[in-house]
Every structure is written in C-alpha cells, then in structure tokens.
Chain A
C-alpha cells in the first residue's frame, strides 16, 4: 500500500536559517506528491505539488523536487521567517485512489 514517512519534529530554527524537512514515500505506480501547511488553529492549505518525476514544486519561497530514484520529496526553504511557523504535511495520491495518504506532520517553530 501507499505510505509517507516524514522527518520527525519538532524542528526549531532561527530566523533566516535554511530549512529542510525530509519526506520519503512508498507507492504503487506513479504518484502525485504534495506539501500542505497548517497554521495554528487552521485547516490545511496546499503549499506546493509535483505530479511527475523531476518536477519541482515551488511557492512562497518553498521548493520540493520529485525524486523518483530516491522516492523522496524533501521540502526546502533558503531563509525561514517567524511567519513560517506551522505544521507541514507531506502527502501523495497514487493510481486510481481518490484519497491522499498523509505523513504524520512536522512542527516547525522559527524564533526571531
């Protein structure tokens, strides 16, 4: 079956630090991959996505590249801000499945 493994948190960084949140997956076929962000007290918002191998998704300074050979979709940002403090979820959709499979989420806290 499908599964998503995310780096465990919480992650605490200083403002302007470099961010990497690791995500690896197991899936049948050729999945689409997503990163969602959840700000405190809110639902999840789509941050970025990639639908085929070697695609790079990007949004708000965040990037992730779909690496089929390593089955990974790591989230990166070159310089984090306090406002990036949130929980980040990696997710995939594969084959005919209508539903997404989510990772467990990584809490990021950015200190001024």
Chain B
C-alpha cells in the first residue's frame, strides 16, 4: 500500500523552539507539499517542492522553511515556534501530473506550541 508517512501524530513544543516535521513518501513522487489546516480556514499551502533541492513558497511561508535533500523526504522547519503556529500540519505528494491523479496525504501532525 502506497504511503505518505509523517513522523509524529502529536507534538507539543515550547515557544522559541526549533521544530522539525518530517514527511516521507514511498511512491517515487516528484512533488511534495506542506499544508496547515485550521478551523474555518481550510487548507493553506505553506511550501512545496517539485524536485530534490527545489522549493517554492506557498500562500503562507512566513515563519517556516523547508528542506528536500532526497526525493522521498520533505521536511518542514519552524525556526522559532510561536503559539500562532499551533495547527494541524498535512504533508502530501503527487506525480508531476497532479492535475490528473491528485495528491496522496499523510495522516497529519497536530502541533501545539505552548
């Protein structure tokens, strides 16, 4: 069964900590994405990557960075966590023809910053 695996389901971090959220896919997908999901706001794109070492900003990149050193792994980094980054984070991947096949999502990481 093909998968997108997010390393943690739940995380609690302190304000100011550097936080790493990891995502691994086993489908040889070129594209990978990070979204955050908040009640009433739907899914908002943070960053995406369409190749190793490539990245593009999404709609809300402020306060985040990403790393893609290998095709199967896409990491989201919160350089200095703040309480307004408390959210559900969803990773997804797709082939370049995402318009035809859609995305495969991970199960999500619920991050709480205290």
Contacts and interface: CB of A to CB of B under 8 A. Distances in A.
A102 B96 contact: no
Interface residues of B, number: 26
A74 interface: no
A43 B48 CA distance: 17
Given A93-B98, A98-B50, A99-B48, A46 B103 contact: yes
Interface stretch (B64-72, B76-84, B105-113): B105-113
A88 to B, nearest CB: 12
Contacts of A41: 107-108
Contact of A99 (B45, B106, B107): B45
A104 B99 contact: no
Given A98-B96, A100-B98, A42 B42 contact: no
A99 B92 CA distance: 10
Interface size range of chain A in the complex = 20 to 34
B33 interface: yes
Contact of B108 (A42, A49, A51, A102): A42
Nearest to B101: A49
Interface in B31-48: 31, 33, 40-43, 45, 48
B61 interface: no
A30 to B, nearest CB: 9
A94 B99 contact: yes
B102 A100 contact: yes
Contacts of A49: 102
B45 to A, nearest CB: 6
Contacts of B33: 99
Interface of B: 4, 6, 31, 33, 40-43, 45, 48, 50, 58, 90, 92, 94, 96, 98-100, 102-108
Q: Nearest 4 A-B pairs (CB), nearest first?
A: A93-B99, A43-B105, A104-B42, A44-B105
Interface of A: 31-32, 34, 36, 41-46, 49, 51, 89, 91, 93-94, 97-100, 102-105
